[in-house]
């Protein structure tokens, strides 16, 4: 079996690749993994260092908007798992162009190549942010997409393209929508690693607005486990929410991060809230639990403790990445 993993040098994609090649996903045992990654600021070959010597790994540097390169990399693949995306909301507010090009155009190029090459399965990895904001309750997969940022709008557009390739062409595309990920190897522009690395350096952390925006937190290992289950047993044309089951306000999360590194609230600097900052995300992941047997297995306390420890022990990984990182979480 050969699987093309786009964005496989990024945070979530590289976790999926390490798990696949390291034996954590039995259904991918023996599979050849082809990673296609442009190596933007968020992609890092060092993320693949633990499996770089594996003969089943092949790395292709390139852009998913390059049609010929995509077809060359995809040729012979039995499945595609599509993680590649521009993903940082603040960057999309500053400039939306790369989000539309990569997330919408790039996804269409991948879908068309998969159709032409007869790829059997295509998993399109998306986000809960496409649903917008919810005051109470949780989104099921049938909820309309109502994105509020250029980033989430570009992901919603890519989701709809994925749907169209199943409905129009019969391509087997399965869409996943995850909640907020955390874990090792996450770029330090995102909230958890930004706060942790700032605090480890004795620097203050920027907390948006009143800090009461709520997110559901999902360990990256659990997310990748869910993606692998969708790849193995998901149904064509279906959407699967992948949640973590731990809803926290940003203020609550900040308190836990402060405690984890032995800091206090004097290290918190309130900053002006983000434009159109969604108040609350919450996923109903009953469908993937009932159909595929998904359950998150990494408790939030255990996962957060291990994540903080990883950043404390891996300064050589994140210190170079913090130079030039000028956006808040």
Task: Tell me which residues are annotated as active site.
Answer: 128-129, 151
Q: Are strands 2-6 and 32-37 parallel, antiparallel or unpaired?
A: parallel
| Cα first-last separation, the chain | 38
d(CA 62, CA 109): 13
User: Under DSSP, is residue 113 helix (H, G, I), strand (E, B) or coil?
Assistant: helix
Q: From the centroid of its chain, how far is CA 16? A: 10
d(CA 68, CA 65): 9
d(CA 280, CA 301): 21
Neighbours of 275 (CB within 10 A): 10
8 Å CB contact between 237 and 173: yes
Q: Are strands 246-249 and 214-219 parallel, antiparallel or unpaired?
A: antiparallel
8 Å CB contact between 73 and 2: no
Compute φ and ψ for 44, nearest 5 degrees. Answer: -150, 115
d(CA 51, CA 64): 23
């Amino acid at each position: 079996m050969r699987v093309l993993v786009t964005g496989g040098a990024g945070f979530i994609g590289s976790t999926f690749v390490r798990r696949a090649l390291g034996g954590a996903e039995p259904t991918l045992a023996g599979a050849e993994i082809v990673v296609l990654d442009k190596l933007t600021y968020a992609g890092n070959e060092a993320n693949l260092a633990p499996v770089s010597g594996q003969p089943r790994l092949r790395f292709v540097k390139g852009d998913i908007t390059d049609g010929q390169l995509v077809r060359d990399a995809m040729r012979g693949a039995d499945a595609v798992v599509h993680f590649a995306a521009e993903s940082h909301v603040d960057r999309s507010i500053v400039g939306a162009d790369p989000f539309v090009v990569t997330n919408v155009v790039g996804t269409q190029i991948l879908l068309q190549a998969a159709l032409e090459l007869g790829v059997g399965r295509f998993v399109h990895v998306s986000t809960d942010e496409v649903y917008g904001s919810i005051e109470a309750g949780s989104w099921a997969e049938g909820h309309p997409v109502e994105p509020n940022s250029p980033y989430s709008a570009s992901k919603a557009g890519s989701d709809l393209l994925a749907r169209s390739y199943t409905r129009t062409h019969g391509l087997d595309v399965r869409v996943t929508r995850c909640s907020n990920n955390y874990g090792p190897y996450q770029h330090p522009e995102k909230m958890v690693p930004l706060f942790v690395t700032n605090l480890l350096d004795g620097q203050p952390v920027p907390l948006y607005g009143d800090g009461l925006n709520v997110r559901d937190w999902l360990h990256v290992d659990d997310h990748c486990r869910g993606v692998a289950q969708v790849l193995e047993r998901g149904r064509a044309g279906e959407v699967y929410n992948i949640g973590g089951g731990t809803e926290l306000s940003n203020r609550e999360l900040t308190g836990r991060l402060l405690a984890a590194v032995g800091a206090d609230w004097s290290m918190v600097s309130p900053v002006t809230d983000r434009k159109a900052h969604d108040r609350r995300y919450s996923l109903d992941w009953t469908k993937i639990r009932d159909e595929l047997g998904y359950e998150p297995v990494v408790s939030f306390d255990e996962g957060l403790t291990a994540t903080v420890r990883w950043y404390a022990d891996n300064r050589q990984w994140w210190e170079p990445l913090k130079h030039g990182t000028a956006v808040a979480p």
